[in-house]
Chains A and B, each alone.
Chain A
Amino acid sequence: MSTTALELSGITKRFGSFTANSDISLSIRKGSIHAIAGENGAGKSTLSNIIYGLVQPDAGTLYVDGNPCRFSSPREAIGAGIGMVHQHFMLSGTLSVMENILLGDERQGLLWPCRRSKARQDITDIAERHGMQLDPDAMIENLSVGEEQRVEILKLLYRNAQLLLLDEPTAVLAPAETRKLFSSLRSLRDEGRTIILITHKLDEVLDLADNVSIMRKGEITATLPCSETSKQELARLMVGRNVVLQAENPPHTPGAPLLEIDELSLQAGNGRPRLEKLSMTIRKGEIYGLAGVEGNGQSELLQLLWGMLPDNARTTGSARLDGKELTGLRPVDIAALGVSCVPEDRHRHAAIGQFSIEDNMLLGRHREKTFVRGSGFDSRSREQLSRDITTHYDLRTGNGTNQAFESLSGGNQQKIIAGRELSRPALRLLLLGQPTRGVDIGAIELIHKKILEARQAGVAILLISTELEEIITLSTRIGCIYKGKIRHEFSPEEVQEGRTAPGTFSESIGMHIT
């Protein structure tokens, strides 16, 4: 028997021209907890999908227990004793815990009844051994998130998986549930199983894992035993890099507070807390950079400030714009107060792909008096707007503004969205969600310049970004959001100073968001 549970050698995966995993070699010891940490987009998910057989590598070999394997589907991976718990659970809500666990592994002929009592006994045994108590007959839809996760893990154990892949398992858990999960995972390791933990939370890595591999831009940059490293070192490995972005951002003095958020809490429809007593203030003429790893409440904050929360979300606390409460208002009302929003997801929320470029420039601003004539639009002011955005944002549309928005490149699309939102008249507050995600360098520079111009004009700006470079380049102040809370705030002086040494600065920001 080999002591290596899983070995990867030279794994490479490309999606088009983008290399998600580049020449990854890694060996994972049997009976250990091995963490793979990295930022969003570092290639962790691709790697785990390769191990689990969801994605096939372009090059490289996978060895399970020393034998070379090639999985063309998860079913084969499961057969080899590899199981995965996804970030989003794959359970059927209308079946019971036991039925979900048996599903796909009934151990009976198709038309024969399942051996329920035996299965029930088996499941209860496994669960109790690892501190994962569950009622096998409970309906999934009545379970908490933590319990659902336990079902997912039990599903793997019932299939006797020796290697468990967990993708961001704590992202959805409350602290108490996290502790429970960790003790179960330790107990599984002590039984000789191997666990791969995909995460960006360094505290959890150090708390739980035996070894850790850091991924950056599709490569494994280091593999270390957790006992011989520190959070600082990991943070540096994870986010430290050369800052290539440069934008003129001289020192400046912000004006009076404009947006005041006070002890804002938010619970999603399923009772999961997304914001917990978050407080912050944004002043006129300042850019407040909200740094954080995705999923720590940024999206919900943006939705809340733009009046787009789902109906079943519950909020407490307040968010006031110049004294006027924003919570509970609709986007129309919020826009009328002089607020603009660049949503995080361009394709889903910011534009309509089949509409023309010109129509998209108007979307959301189509009620403004300038554009209205009779029951339709004033074609002259409409063309003016599209000319303005085209020239000021250097749009390269090929043949005019009548072509479909979706035919443009991501950079041009985002320039249109930015142009539309930043040129809103009487703009006071600008909400930016990932304003340069998936956009080429040229467009990034231009959009950054425009954001800084807006700040210069006295607009208060909330910049939500997972790109630390962007946050550091643009921000006046920086707030680090972690699990729905501002965990740390950097003052204008600190940020100004940090800009001179972006490498070390992103490391210290990294300490507060992981």
Chain B
Amino acid sequence: MQKPLPRIVTPAAAITGGLLLSALLIMAAGRNPLAMYAKMVSMTFGSTYGTGQVIFRTTTLVLAGLAVAIPFRAKLFNIGGEGQILAGAFTAAVTAAFLPSWTPAPAAIAIAALAGAAAGSAMGLSAGLLKVRYGVNEVISTIMLNFIIRGFTSYMLTNHLALPSTAHTPDIIDATIIPALWQHSPANYSVLLAGGTTLAGYFLLFRTRFGFEMRACGLNAEAAAHAGIDTGMHTLYAMAAGGAAAGLVAANLVLGYRHCFEAGLTAGIGFTGIAVALLAKAHPLWILPSALLFGFMEYGGLSVNAYVPKEIFMMMQAVIIIMVLVMQKK
């Protein structure tokens, strides 16, 4: 039997491929790719503001990646990160705005973040229930739930919650604000929450009996059932856990950064989360570097937008994922 390649090889090769391809595109746009890449690095990690931007985006993507990775271990494809994040952000923002102003800070933050997680979790759980009870494929149901929650939040926002002549909710109370890591930086202390959630996800999946059962369900559901494992329950758990991770994105976006809910605040994050999880092969710890890469490309691409279209880097992200998938099939 052929010895399997070390797990770093596939993503590394995919990233290299992505870099080469976008180098071609950058040249087509009339710029020197090496200079552009150098500029991307200096605009991000070369400045405190840029670093903050990357950390901020990475925080979001870590959680969005976990939202896909955990269900993926139970062989469930959670396409609903988008909707779960939206539900989480909306719920957290509303909760945080209407909490009594005397609530002590740590409790206020916890309540608002948990409200977000609970909303995301409920979204995931709905898809899980539809699958276990009625056999509805989770890919379809999560996509549909994305539409439902988008419609609901935008109706609530425009008709009931938005401040007059704006498109956002009232600001959250001061006690629920998660402080920034340093001044003028979007990065805030919820990066610790993302790190903690990742470790918790790793521990849950690989160090507990619960994770043992869940992974068994994902790899061979029939054998798991023979071993007396309730595969239906694990579908529910996995979807609920994924949804909760997605809902926690609210801590970073709403409590740590925007301090209110507005239309389009979370758009697209759930889908990038899928890419993050795929690149990490659904391993919680590998989510961290994977999310960092995507965070870097997102902001790095934005920072050189004056010279080359940032869309090139969106394409690069997608190329990397496709290459990972291609290389997994031998």
A119 interfacial by beta-carbon distance below 8 Å: no
A366 to B213, CA, bound (A): 9
A341 interfacial by beta-carbon distance below 8 Å: yes
B223 interfacial by beta-carbon distance below 8 Å: yes
A372 interfacial by beta-carbon distance below 8 Å: yes
Residues of B within 8 A of A306 (CB): 226
Residues of A within 8 A of B209 (CB): 366-367, 372, 375-377
* Interface-lining segment among A65-73, A167-175, A352-360: A352-360
The answer to whether B226 and A352 touch across the interface, beta carbons within 8 angstroms, is no
The answer to whether B216 and A355 touch across the interface, beta carbons within 8 angstroms, is yes
The answer to whether B216 and A308 touch across the interface, beta carbons within 8 angstroms, is no
Chain B stretch 200-229: residues in CB contact (< 8 A) with chain A: 207-210, 212-213, 215-216, 219-220, 222-228
A363 interfacial by beta-carbon distance below 8 Å: yes
Residues of A within 8 A of B224 (CB): 352, 363
Between A and B, how many residue pairs show CB distances below 8 Å?
61
A353 to B222, CA, bound (A): 12
> With contacts A348-B220, A352-B216, A353-B219 known, is A364 near B210, CB below 8 A?
no
A366 to B212, CA, bound (A): 9
A351 to B212, CA, bound (A): 13
The answer to whether B228 and A351 touch across the interface, beta carbons within 8 angstroms, is no
Interface flags, A360-397, vs B, CB<8A=1, else 0? 00111011000010011100000000000000000000
Most buried by A among B207, B215, B227: B227
A427 interfacial by beta-carbon distance below 8 Å: no
Count of chain A residues near B, Cβ 8 A: 27
The answer to whether A375 and B210 touch across the interface, beta carbons within 8 angstroms, is yes
| Chain A residue with the shortest CB-CB distance to B213 | A366
| Chain A residue with the shortest CB-CB distance to B208 | A375
Question: What's the least CB distance linking A257 to chain B, in Å?
Answer: 26
Give the interface residue-count category, chain B: 10 to 19
A479 interfacial by beta-carbon distance below 8 Å: no
A88 interfacial by beta-carbon distance below 8 Å: no
Residues of A within 8 A of B216 (CB): 352, 355, 363
Q: Of B207, B210, B222, B227, which one neighbours A363 at CB under 8 angstroms?
A: B227
A349 interfacial by beta-carbon distance below 8 Å: yes
Chain A stretch 134-175: residues in CB contact (< 8 A) with chain B: none
The answer to whether A363 and B223 touch across the interface, beta carbons within 8 angstroms, is yes
The answer to whether B223 and A348 touch across the interface, beta carbons within 8 angstroms, is yes
| Chain B residue with the shortest CB-CB distance to A345 | B222
Chain A stretch 305-322: residues in CB contact (< 8 A) with chain B: 306, 308
Chain A stretch 218-251: residues in CB contact (< 8 A) with chain B: none
The answer to whether A331 and B219 touch across the interface, beta carbons within 8 angstroms, is no
The answer to whether B212 and A359 touch across the interface, beta carbons within 8 angstroms, is yes
Residues of A within 8 A of B219 (CB): 352-355
| Chain A residue with the shortest CB-CB distance to B210 | A375
| Chain B residue with the shortest CB-CB distance to A372 | B209
The answer to whether A343 and B208 touch across the interface, beta carbons within 8 angstroms, is no
A335 interfacial by beta-carbon distance below 8 Å: yes
Q: Of B1, B208, B213, B223, which one neighbours A350 at CB under 8 angstroms?
A: B223
A351 to B207, CA, bound (A): 20
The answer to whether A308 and B226 touch across the interface, beta carbons within 8 angstroms, is yes
> With contacts A335-B228, A366-B213 known, is A351 near B208, CB below 8 A?
no
A367 to B224, CA, bound (A): 13
A77 to B230, CA, bound (A): 47
Residues of A within 8 A of B226 (CB): 306, 308, 331, 341, 343, 349-350, 364
Binding site for A on B (CB under 8 A): 1, 207-210, 212-213, 215-216, 219-220, 222-228, 230
The 6 closest A-B pairs by CB, nearest first: A364-B227, A332-B228, A331-B228, A375-B208, A352-B220, A349-B226
A and B contact pairs by CB, cutoff 8 A, 23 listed: A308-B225, A330-B228, A332-B228, A341-B226, A348-B220, A349-B223, A349-B226, A350-B226, A351-B223, A352-B220, A353-B219, A355-B215, A359-B212, A363-B216, A363-B224, A366-B213, A366-B227, A367-B209, A375-B210, A376-B207, A376-B208, A376-B209, A407-B1
Known pairs A355-B219, A367-B209; list 8 more (Cβ under 8 Å): A308-B225, A308-B226, A341-B226, A354-B219, A359-B212, A363-B216, A366-B209, A377-B209
